[in-house]
Structure 1
Amino acid sequence: MKRVLRVLVVGVAVLAVSGVPGVAGATAGVGPDRGGLQRELDSVAGATAVGALAEVRDGKGVWRGTSGVAVRGTSRPVPVDGLFRVGSITKTFVATVVLQLVAEGRVRLEDSVERWLPGVVPNGRNITLRQLLNHTSGLYDYVKAVPKPPSPEFFADRWRTRTASEQIQQALAHPPTSQHPGKEYAYSNTGYLLLGEVIQKVTGRTYGQEIERRVIRPLRLRGTVMPGTSPWIPGPHPHGYVPTDLNLTGYVDYTELNPTLFGAGGDMISTTHDLNRFFGALLGGRLLPKYLLKQMETAGTPTHDYGLGLSWKDTTCGIRVYGNDGDALAYNAWSFSSADGRHQVSIAVTPTFRVDPDDAVDAFVDKAVCG
């Protein structure tokens, strides 16, 4: 859920006094190790993860690789076509559906929350759909109120089905982060829960059904799943873990859980192949008209490179890549593509929480794009 769920275990990372057992040397690449991509992926896994998998696409072809292990304490390799929870990359799919509704004239970006969800959000008449999309609504992020591991409350809630309404009310019990919607960036999963509710109000179908109908099926994303309340990952996959104590001496397999914890902010399951296919189609203009894609790529505030469900970064060789990253507790994922589609990279890890994987992943993305 875009780094926010990492808050759940930030205390673990900060207070850790020792690491976990090292990553086994299980590596696999499809095709030659172009430009040291396997070595770079091994660096990601060795420093930050139980296992990692990636797919890189460019003018030289497709490279796919894995590193580490799929299951702690074994030598089982990470499946190169493995499924994983993508966390906040889900938000880009939700945003795409909302913008398709804009293109169809069914909603407007400047519509208020109150117009579509009357009485749900205090000050909802002054908060727009655009502000929900670009995280300038000022609404408190419900994830911050979720119990944190290793608390018993956190583990006790593993199988519980949550509703968007419940989690929205949980957020609204806290004061807003800003009294001036549209002025300040403050990441909020609550905004995307509301967008999921708006999609259902407009279409009569859930956000998951609309994503399947508008994106997954047309693009033939065969490894992408909207799980609903199902706790399973339906296909080959690496296992994900969360720590059970602040010293990182114990872990519990958290591959399976009720994904309503994440909701429209981050419940999707996918593959590196499908994520590259999706972002290639999005940036290539297959899902949105140019004027809306341009708005998606426009920052909501000068301080953050985040538009309407889409973020971006500049590589060391000057190539800007667009995409998103996400946390789904026991899984972290990143997917970025250049605007012209010539460079694509998707990577997922099952973190150890010893260190934040962002720096190592950024180095991998830079290597994949710049060579």
Structure 2
Amino acid sequence: MRTRFTATVIAAALLVATAGPAVAGTVDRAVVQQGLDEVVRAGLLGVQLRVTHDREHFTARSGKAELNTARPVPLNGRFRAGSITKTFVATVVLQLAGESRAELDAPVDRYLPGLVDQRITVRQLLQHTSGLYDHNDALPFDPAGFEQIRYKHWEPEELVALSTSRPLEFEPGTRREYSNTNYVVAGLLVEKITGRPLERVVEHRILKPLHLNDTLLPIDDDRIHGPHAHGYWAIDGKAVDITRFNPSVFWAEGNLVSTTKDLDTFFAALAGGRLLKPAQQRELTRTTAISPGYGLGVTVQVLPCGTTVWGHDGFVPGFGSLALTTPDTRKRAVLNVNTSAGEGDPSAGVEKILGEVFC
């Protein structure tokens, strides 16, 4: 879900201000806490953060887990991680490429005949250069509309059909435009090649090897099990708890449930070369003139202070997440917010946090 929070967090990630080049040193935790408190004062209900800075590791939080309570956000609570799911799916596709079971520049039609335009390649799915219309634009994701489909089960093919019933947005490979449909198709590709459900493939290839015991890709379970904060939005002026909904509507594009600890472990392993072979590791973060800030399932940016970071953000009703790491994994941050029923601009607080951690 690309929401107002998306824009502000991405802007903060890319516009971190600093007076000079990055230098070695410890993170000022007081500054980080100030940033977290600013995020909450801006209108978010709660925020949790996990930071790695060289040998320093810590968690921090601000705000509440639920409205009308004093319960703080769990420091390692589970949350819906949204489009960070895409990095997991892209990693599996790249693993299959490393095993010669998938070819990045082959047409998707080779593996899934007749599903999408024959010119679209596997790489174009992962890099959002396919031209596929984003099926989410055809769904009611405004609060009142989403209530009508909140508990509906969706088949991946239904979501793809919403996209392919429209013409391509542009000729494949000519520009990049974020489309969630790309990753629904990528999920179907994984299932076709492996003969197994996507969630089981991700579990076998990533979750179990890395001991990500608090991470899963639920299909129809509308609950978040274990400690977690709640997210809200406003309908007719009233705060509605949106924490529970059927996650099948987001499937391979964004149904992941995780924790800051598990996401930190995953991105450290991915950046550290533990999940991909060298050739696929290079493809992961290779950008192009058409896609200058996005590799294959990861964003790649150079902050104004000179620090390169890559990772992904994620947004679904009630939750917003951001996971970033430097290529050498020495500096990492995973942040999640649970929303209140109001609107605010948390960019100043997020900018303060990211500036302190990475710059």
Q: TM-score, normalised by structure 2?
A: 0.90
State the partner residue of 2:153.
161
State the partner residue of 1:243.
234
The one of 247, 253, 262 aligned to 2:250 = 262
Distance 1:161 1:73 in 2: 31
State the partner residue of 1:14.
none
C-alpha spacing 1:252/1:85, structure 2 compared with 1 (3 Å): same
Shift of residue 143, structure 1, vs aligned partner: 0.5
Distance 1:359 1:198 in 2: 40
Q: Which amino acid aligns with 1:354?
A: E
Gaps of at least 5 residues in structure 1 are 11-31
Shift of residue 303, structure 1, vs aligned partner: 5.4
State the partner residue of 2:350.
361
State the partner residue of 2:54.
59
Given that 1:8 and 1:149 are in contact with CA atoms closer than 8 Å, whether structure 2 keeps it comes out as no
2:311 aligned with 1:323: yes
2:272 aligned with 1:289: no
Q: Which amino acid aligns with 1:181?
A: P
Higher relative contact order (CA 8 A, sep 6+): 2
State the partner residue of 2:35.
40
Given that 1:185 and 1:304 are in contact with CA atoms closer than 8 Å, whether structure 2 keeps it comes out as no
The one of 308, 316, 319 aligned to 2:296 = 308
Q: Which amino acid aligns with 1:262?
A: F
- Secondary structure at the aligned position of 1:219 is classed as coil
Write the deviation string for residues 269-314 of structure 1: whole angstroms up to 9, x where unpaired.
0111111110100010000122212211112444540110000232
**Aligned pairs, how many?**
339
Within a 5 Å distance, the mapping from 1:21-100 to structure 2 comes to 34-100=29-95
Given that 1:69 and 1:76 are in contact with CA atoms closer than 8 Å, whether structure 2 keeps it comes out as yes
Distance 2:250 2:279 in 1: 30
Within a 5 Å distance, the mapping from 1:81-230 to structure 2 comes to 81-121=76-116, 123=117, 125-151=118-144, 153-178=145-170, 180-230=171-221
The one of 268, 280, 293 aligned to 1:280 = 268
Shift of residue 219, structure 1, vs aligned partner: 0.3
Distance 2:288 2:231 in 1: 33
Shift of residue 361, structure 1, vs aligned partner: 2.4
Distance 1:206 1:358 in 2: 38
- Secondary structure at the aligned position of 1:52 is classed as strand
Write the deviation string for residues 317-362 of structure 1: whole angstroms up to 9, x where unpaired.
3111110001012100000011111001000001345135455424
Distance 1:357 1:258 in 2: 28
The range that moved more, 128-137 or 225-234, is 225-234
Given that 2:260 and 2:334 are in contact with CA atoms closer than 8 Å, whether structure 1 keeps it comes out as yes
C-alpha spacing 1:303/1:286, structure 2 compared with 1 (3 Å): closer
C-alpha spacing 1:321/1:8, structure 2 compared with 1 (3 Å): closer
Q: TM-score, normalised by structure 1?
A: 0.87
Distance 1:356 1:327 in 2: 15
Q: Which runs of 4+ in 1 moved over 6 A?
A: 7-10
Distance 2:81 2:6 in 1: 18
Shift of residue 268, structure 1, vs aligned partner: 0.3
Given that 2:36 and 2:62 are in contact with CA atoms closer than 8 Å, whether structure 1 keeps it comes out as yes
- Secondary structure at the aligned position of 2:208 is classed as helix
Distance 1:132 1:48 in 2: 35
Distance 2:110 2:351 in 1: 40
Distance 2:158 2:105 in 1: 26
CA RMSD in angstroms, aligned pairs only? 2.0
Shift of residue 363, structure 1, vs aligned partner: 3.4
